[in-house]
A and B are shown apart, each in its own frame.
Chain A
Amino acid sequence: MKFKAKFIEERIFKILMITSTSIILLSLGAILGSILYKGLPSLSWEMISQTPKGGFYLGKSGGILNAILGSFYIAFGATAIALLVSLPVALYINIYRKKFSKYSNLVRLCLDVLWGVPSIVYGALGFSVMLYIGLKTSLLAGIIIVGILIIPVMIRAMDEVIKTIPKGLVEASLALGSTKTETAFKIVVKQALPGIITAILLSFGRAIGDAASVMYTTGFTDNIPKSLLSQAATLPLAIMNLVSSPIVEVQNKAYASALILTFIILFLSIISRLLSIKYTKNKSH
């Protein structure tokens, strides 16, 4: 057996590749592991079920219910707004226009670019606009900004699913005399429903995790928001506030809050994965 240079080279690179892949997986493990390790000891029912009490930021009792609820309100509101815009647009560029027409592709390009706009830019500009029209920092402002932020994510995710709907199905429905609207909402939406739900969950996760856009638009408060116009706390911002404290107990609370946020995100991601597995199964049979 001759050991030619080319085989040795291949060997070396293969080892490098496997190492890189392992390191990537290890870094995911390190993230989850260190959050779990630091967060679990401080995680308690009190953290989840109570709002901050007096002296909470000095290490006394209380929890972050205000931030958990605030984040959920914002994520639900923003997802609802985004859904109202995204579904029609995704249907429009696939059903009403030709799937790969110049126009549809231009829309896709713009959405992709919009997706890349940093959320701090949305936050900063959104705050200026709010000042201009006289809207105070509030839950409503946060919902609108985050809604706008996740619209491109949601449209593109739905677009990827709706793209795969076979042309024959649409044509059959049109040939039977239904209008494009009926075809879009009754046939295409039904067929793409699991994918659409996945897209919604993906955007929901994005909405709950984003902090830079709500930093100046929703404000921060220890109370659970009572109306759309009251300020609200969000989980990521609560985590940031807590971790910047010099007191160790308070920092531990930040780790516990980070663990809660991670659980929420993992939960969403597992559900959407299960859905997509079910979806592909249905498709192949």
Chain B
Amino acid sequence: MKLINIALKDVKIVFRDKMALLILLAMPFILMTIMGMALGGLFSKGPELSKIDVAVVNYDDGKVSEDFIEEILKGDELSKLLNVKEMDKKRAMNLVRIGDISSVIIIPSDFTSQIMKNKSTEMKVYGDPGQEIRASIVRSITNAYTNKVSSVMVGVRTGWESLTKLGKKTNLTEIARYIPFMINEMIEKDVEDLVKIEEENTSQKESLSSMQYYAAGMSTMFVLFSAMFGADSILKERDDKTLARLLSSPMKKHSVLGGKLLGIFIIGILQFTAYITATKLIFNVNWGRSIIGLVLLPISTVLATTGMTIFFASIAKTRNAVGGISQIFIQSMSALGGSMFPTSLLPPWLRFFSNFTINKWSMDGFLSLMSGAGVISISKSIIVLLAIALVFFILGIWRFSYE
């Protein structure tokens, strides 16, 4: 109960601080509006800012499947859209289940041999229900390819039957041996058809607007600022001796700190609630359909932020230092993590570092939810955010000095 009183006192103090309110509540909306409108062109090509991750499980060691993977999926055109990884079925199914990849293409062991015998065969595609749009793109590409293969096979059979009717004796198996070559020839001429399918799909799916992107980006970034205010508030208590007074009351040290951190947590949750509600009402931003996702993702983001608060308070010796350290951390995280612009604009080596930011995982989760994904698809984001929170809490509590 005392812990809650400390937290509520901090919330009250923040609500009476006009500068804090300006930064925590007004600034995000101003920036969302400016950046959402100014950088709309960046999103005009389509909402998918990142490539679609696809796993291929290839049981076949023949030429047709090899050509499909190397020439088609990893070819010049589709490599702009797809990120193809070959792996075993167990791992692929596991990754699609946790939402790490959108779909799995399974090529049977007799794929090439059946085609070369001009007999029917099929590839299977499993998609993550949470990434239905991405999965449907992969399914369309695979279908388009198999349709091409079928038409070649039908053409070969029709040709062979016609020749047989005309009395020309030819061996079907002998002709079928050339099917892989014919497929390649045909696909090479019509590869645009496969890409066109992808574009059609893209235009049909729920489109992520620049306003949606920056609603998620600025919300995450400005929730991080609550860590700066929180750390400053902890050090202010220490400087003003209210911390000493609190510690001289019948409370344990960690309860006092717990109360302070609970206050930061409540402020973060109030921020997200305000951002989501206001952007929905003012800009009609669609935050997706998953209510559970929209509850769990802000909670895990705010927990990571709360952890960062105690980390800042533990490494900064003065309140001025808190301002400096927080700004460096928050601005860097926001730039690297996608709050300011899509991470796809970063060079690959720099993109690697975005994995260590709160923004990246929070943004990934929000953008997935906005694209129609469910809570299972964002489970990885939630787990990583909770892990970040844990690391910050351990480091912060270990280093924090009450004196």
Do they bind each other?
no
Binding site for B on A (CB under 8 A): none
